[in-house]
Amino acid sequence: MSEKQLVSKSVTYQTATENDDGQRLDNYLARVLKGVPRSMLYRILRRGEVRVNKGRVTPSYKLREGDVIRIPPVTVTEAPVTIPSSNLHVVQDLKDRILFENEDLLVVNKPAGLAAHGGSGIEFGLIESLRALMPDQRFLELAHRLDKETSGCLIVAKRRSALRHLHEQFRQRIVKKRYLTLVPGKWDRRVQIVDAPLIRNELRSGERMVEVNFKRGAPSSTGFDVVEFLDGATLVAAMPHTGRTHQIRVHCAYKKHPVGGDEKYGDKDFNERLKSIGLKRMFLHAAKITFLNPKDNSIIKVEGPLPDELQTAVDALRIKK
């Protein structure tokens, strides 16, 4: 049943802290006024009911530490936010999946099937789940993304300053990521780099597809190493040097070795073979991530163990000697 929730009783004034510095005003309001629909937030912004330092600003205004934000009274009618029961076990499991944590950030071993964030019909993603599990943590934001069906190491910032530091590391390509994937056939060891520009297209159905396009595509590069030759397949390590959408999946397909279990770019026969040995997901796992500690620039290396269902598939295809 819906109920009225008085989010803000009267006009309040909040001062932007270090953790708020650089955040868009609309995103700040969404965090402070939990449960308020975005449409309502933009409405009170358009009306000038939200002010920063006594002046009107746009929703995209980026806050600075010390800014004074005027927040009007807001009442919404909706049920209290709860974790969907269908995902409750997955959400509760996240605390046991934290691989590394300090005062600035944490690295979580994201399970396959859980989106990094909500949106586009997804009510709860990993970041919303962590916020529900850690209500005392004022600031939690994704430093990067993983596809819903990809598992493995994902960095979450606990401070705005750490998030900015991490974003700069991604821009400068300081962050190094190593994925493990299972592909059909025997990967040629001589193929150690795939440089193939990628372009993203939207189909009429609304589905997003990425393809190699040497005329109009954005520069894209992935390094590859053979980890192990298996029965009719190869376990491969992929190291993306750029961060394009679906990059590893498209580069593998471009070399005629598509990612196992990939329903979008994969090989139907190989996918059926994997299903026959019990694998019901895409075989792509962010196994290792290396980056600099925002506090002192020391090197942090975090590894996420291969999930049981992926290890079982490797064991089933291992060549008996």
**With contact defined as beta carbons under 8 Å apart, do 112 and 90 qualify?**
no
pLDDT at 264 over 80: yes
pLDDT of 192-222, one tens digit each? 999 999 998 867 666 778 999 999 999 999 9
15 exposed, middle or buried (CB, 10 Å; 0-12, 13-18, 19+)?
A: exposed
**With contact defined as beta carbons under 8 Å apart, do 5 and 68 qualify?**
no
Q: Is the pTM value of this prediction over 0.85?
A: no
pLDDT at 88 over 70: no
Q: Which domains does the chain have, with CATH numbers?
A: 4-77 (3.10.290.10), 85-168 (3.30.2350.10), 175-317 (3.30.2350.10)
**How far, in Å, CA of 170 to CA of 162, rounded?**
12
Nearest to 146 by CA among 95, 109, 190: 109
Buried b (16+ CB within 10 A) or exposed e, 152-168: bbbbbbbbbbbbbbbbe
**With contact defined as beta carbons under 8 Å apart, do 281 and 312 qualify?**
no
- Active centre residues (catalytic): 147
Mean pLDDT of the chain: 87
* Whole-number percent of the chain with pLDDT over 90: 60
